[in-house]
Amino acid sequence: MIHCPNCNNKISSRKVICLTNFNNTQCKKCGRYLTFNKRKNFLPGVILTIIGALILPYTICNFIYNNFGIIDIVLILLWISLGIFFTLKFTKLEIDEEYEKYYK
């Protein structure tokens, strides 16, 4: 579970997964706008890209040659699960100073 850096309130996992570079979320308890730390989220993105670069050609070749089976489905589901795990494990929220400065 992710916590607000200002008031230590729990933030739902669904809100954290839906965060992008272009949006933020608001803490229900203190009302501060939160975004993720872009430097800390760089590493999981790189790891998942490397894993995807290894899995995707393998599954495409198996699909082309009609060898697509349960192993390929498991690999794709594992890749998606790792993405969700890394997102929830390594996301560090910070207060979005720019949003509060310009839009409040």
Residue 41: the pLDDT is 73
Domain extent for 91: 2-103
Q: Residues 34, 94: contact at Cβ < 8 Å?
A: yes
* Helical residues (DSSP H) of 2-69, grouped into ranges: 13-17, 42-64
The pTM assigned to this predicted structure is: 0.66
| Local confidence band at 104 (pLDDT 50, 70, 90 cut-offs) | low
51-100 tens-digit pLDDT: 888 888 888 888 888 888 888 888 888 988 888 888 888 888 888 888 77
Count how many domains the chain has. Answer: 1
